[in-house]
Structure 1
Amino acid sequence: MNKLKRIFKVGAREIDAPLPNGSLQENVDQLMVNFPMFRFTHILEVDGIPQSDGSILYEVELPPCKTNG
Structure 2
Amino acid sequence: MFATGYPFYGQDVGVLVFSTVTPRAPGDAGNAASFSYPVRYEVVQGGFADLVEGGPVIKANLL
Smaller-chain TM-score bracket:
under 0.3
**Structure 2 length as normaliser, TM-score?**
0.22
Larger Rg over CA atoms: 2
The alignment's TM-score, normalised by the length of structure 1, stands at 0.21
Higher RCO, 1 vs 2 (CA within 8 Å, ≥6 residues apart): 1
